[in-house]
Structure 1
Amino acid sequence: MNRTLFFIAMLATAGIAHGHDSTAGDGRGRSIDKVNGGITAQAGQSYGDLSTVNGGIDLERGASAGEVETVNGGIDAGDDVATRSVATVNGGIRFGQRARIDGGVETVNGGIFIDRGGNVRHDVSTVNGAIGLVDTDLGGGIETVNGDVTVGAGSHVQGGIHFEKPRGKWGTRWGKPKPPRVVIGPGAVVEGDLAFEREVTLYVHQSARIGHVSGATARRFETPTAPKD
């Protein structure tokens, strides 16, 4: 999670002093840089970097952009969207089918979902939120602390799965929370280690292939979906 902490620190200390639009020098189109308000990348259009502090970012079908970043807001992309990297602090990230992300996908408080045909070259990471991949190729790994993880049917994760140990006390008022649920679906492949520094419930389909598991015991299943806890 070091990259996430660096990202937060960078935004907190440097900030975005003035909102502006500018033209990128590499042919990717104009960059948009704001403090307050959302950003919409229009369908089929190419942009440079998209950045805001307070607001969500929407990328319509077929849009392309460089780095896509916000602090307080979600990032929502349609089908056939291409970006360099995607990051937010407080908000979820959702991509439609056939996403192309040259870097990583990162949030702190929010879930991440990438639909069929996605290709992410680096890591997918969050602290508090679920992660879901459907028939998606991930060149890096999955990193998280709290939240369910689903490596859906046909997905391929090259860098393993890592659950960090939660910081602070668990549930001092309401007791120990339910362990996260990790599902490796039919035909999915997870290369590298599956390392769990906290309790999880791990389900692995009989047709899936996974690397070495530490900190959890895999429960095999044969049905199209994993058993209910």
Structure 2
Amino acid sequence: MRIRKLASLIALGLALAAGPALAQQDIDRVFGGITAESGREYGSLETVNGGITIRSGATVRSAETVNGGVDVGADAVVGSIESVNGGVELARNATVGSIESVNGGVRLAEGAAVERDLETVNGAIRLAGGNRVGGDIENVNGAISLIGSEVGGDVETTSGDITLAGGTRVHGGIRVEKPKGNWFNGRQRTPRVVIGADCVVDGELVFEREVELYVHPTARIGRVTGATPKPFDETLPARVEND
């Protein structure tokens, strides 16, 4: 995965403690949350210990936090979001350039969009409907659920389930990567990949580890490597669990 190392944000506290923000429209702090008020324009919003709230219709160049989530209101526009420990939520019709998170899920309400990549390490990714992600969607752990949405790039995971429903279209491919190192101790969970009715995957489906792959008869997919597609109509069989 191309998740950028965010550990450098931990050092943010030292930098912020050295002095005030460089520009009036920027907000930098060590302790406490930050709120971008509705309809206003901001530069960078940075905090170490606290969440960031971007209210409806606000415009923000970037939002970064170490310990805290990021909530983006309806119709707000944000250039980029980075979080280490905290989830990211986009309300209706919000637009973000890119999202990166280490420990936290990402949820997009109806009509919200990510112009480039959406990436997290440990956290579920859920698109509610009418969403567009211009680049890739990637995580390591956590379910990826895409409903009635469009993805310009690839969808990738290591141990999460992937579910496409509601006519979702992925212009790239789907990849489930082989775990690196000693990822699992004891029972191993087999990821489940479901391509629902009227969904489309233009690119290849590549599986580097065992998966359960189910494809609806009305779905269209590219070449499959590493798994055998199984048809389904409405009901999926019980999950497979490995010892």
Give the structure-2-normalised TM-score.
0.84
Alignment-derived partner of residue 48 in structure 2? 35
What are the Cα deviations for residues 54-85 of structure 1, in whole angstroms up to 9, with x where unaligned? Answer: 11101122211110111111101111110100
Alignment-derived partner of residue 70 in structure 1? 83
1:140 pairs with one of 153, 161, 176: 153
* Stretches of 4+ aligned residues off by more than 4 angstroms: 19-22
Q: Greater strand percent: which structure? A: 2
Which 10-residue stretch deviates more, 151-160 or 195-204? Answer: 151-160
Give the whole-Å Cα distance in 2 for the aligned partners of 1:40 and 1:29.
14
Structural mapping, 1:32-181, within 5 Å: 32-169=45-182, 171-172=184-185, 174-175=186-187, 177-181=188-192
> Structure 2: which amino acid aligns with 1:109?
N
> Structure 2: which amino acid aligns with 1:196?
F
What are the Cα deviations for residues 14-57 of structure 1, in whole angstroms up to 9, with x where unaligned? Answer: 84232857538xxx921211111000000122211111111110
User: For the Cα contact (< 8 Å) 1:18–1:35, is it kept in 2?
Assistant: no
Structure 1: gaps (5+ residues)? none
Q: CA deviation at 1:171?
A: 4.3
Q: CA deviation at 1:159?
A: 0.9
Residue 22 and residue 39 in structure 1: after superposition, are their counterparts in 2 closer, same or farther (change >3 A)? farther
Give the whole-Å Cα distance in 2 for the aligned partners of 1:213 and 1:206.
15
Name the SS for the 2:122 alignment partner. coil
Give the whole-Å Cα distance in 1 for the aligned partners of 2:192 and 2:24.
44
CA RMSD of aligned residues (A): 1.9
Identity of aligned residues (%): 43
User: For the Cα contact (< 8 Å) 2:121–2:140, is it kept in 1?
Assistant: yes
Q: CA deviation at 1:152?
A: 1.4
Does residue 1:23 correspond to 2:36, yes or no?
A: no
1:202 pairs with one of 213, 218, 228: 213
Structure 2: gaps (5+ residues)? 27-39
User: For the Cα contact (< 8 Å) 1:23–1:48, is it kept in 2?
Assistant: no
Give the whole-Å Cα distance in 2 for the aligned partners of 1:109 and 1:14.
18
Residue 222 and residue 69 in structure 1: after superposition, are their counterparts in 2 closer, same or farther (change >3 A)? same
Residue 22 and residue 35 in structure 1: after superposition, are their counterparts in 2 closer, same or farther (change >3 A)? farther
> Structure 1: which amino acid aligns with 2:128?
D
Residue 41 and residue 193 in structure 1: after superposition, are their counterparts in 2 closer, same or farther (change >3 A)? same
Give the whole-Å Cα distance in 1 for the aligned partners of 2:109 and 2:166.
16
Q: CA deviation at 1:209?
A: 0.3
